[in-house]
């Protein structure tokens, strides 16, 4: 019979953030906190003003230029060495082979409180706004 564990908070014994998870095969362990995304967002810039579909740890957006969005965090990162990942599917929400890899997205100008996501459209050789952009940040919160 399966058990159900209901809790409101997890806390490590050695320190509050020290919780280790064992892999499926039992051969490896990983820190639970290190494996969690510290920010993620799905948003549009198609209207010229960024708007979120859904997000975690995002306090605001700023349209810095065509294809350039500054994403400000609600809770700061510990340093500016975090790993950021971005994706842009082009001008529509439809998942078609033509727009899945149409744009390139990369974080530039990283700070502890924000990151700038730049979206490049190679076929037009220019920065571009798009209907569906996704981004996430991994690292240590302050």
pLDDT tens digits, 48-88: 889 999 999 999 999 999 999 999 999 999 999 999 999 98
Q: Which two tokens stand for residue 3?
A: 């058990």
Find how far residue 50's CA is from the centre of its chain.
15
pLDDT digits (tens, 9 = 90+) for 89-102: 765 545 555 545 57
What is the average per-residue pLDDT within 2-12? Answer: 87
Whole-model pTM: value is 0.80
Closest by CA to 46, choosing from 119, 126, 97, is 119
**Nearest 10 degrees: CA dihedral of 56, 58, 34, 116?**
130
For residues 124 and 101, the model is more confident at 124
Query: What pLDDT sits at residue 111?
Result: 97
Nearest-angstrom CA–CA distance, 142 and 79: 8
Of 11-15, 73-77, 128-132, 135-139, which gets the smallest average pLDDT?
11-15
Q: Which two tokens stand for residue 34?
A: 């290190």
Q: Which two tokens stand for residue 2?
A: 């399966």
Query: What pLDDT sits at residue 131?
Result: 87
């Amino acid at each position: 019979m399966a058990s159900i564990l209901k809790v409101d908070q997890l806390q490590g014994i050695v320190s509050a953030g020290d919780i280790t998870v064992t892999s499926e095969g039992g051969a490896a362990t990983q820190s639970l906190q290190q494996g969690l995304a510290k920010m993620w967002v799905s948003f549009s810039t198609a209207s010229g003003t960024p708007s979120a579909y859904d997000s975690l740890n995002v306090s605001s957006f700023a349209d810095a230029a065509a294809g350039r969005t500054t994403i400000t965090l609600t809770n700061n990162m510990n340093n500016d060495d975090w790993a950021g990942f971005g994706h842009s599917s082009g001008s529509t929400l439809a998942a078609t082979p033509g727009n899945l890899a149409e744009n390139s997205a990369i974080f530039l100008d990283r700070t502890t409180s924000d990151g700038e996501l730049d979206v490049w459209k190679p076929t037009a050789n220019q920065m571009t706004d798009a209907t569906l952009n996704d981004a996430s940040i991994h690292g240590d919160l302050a």
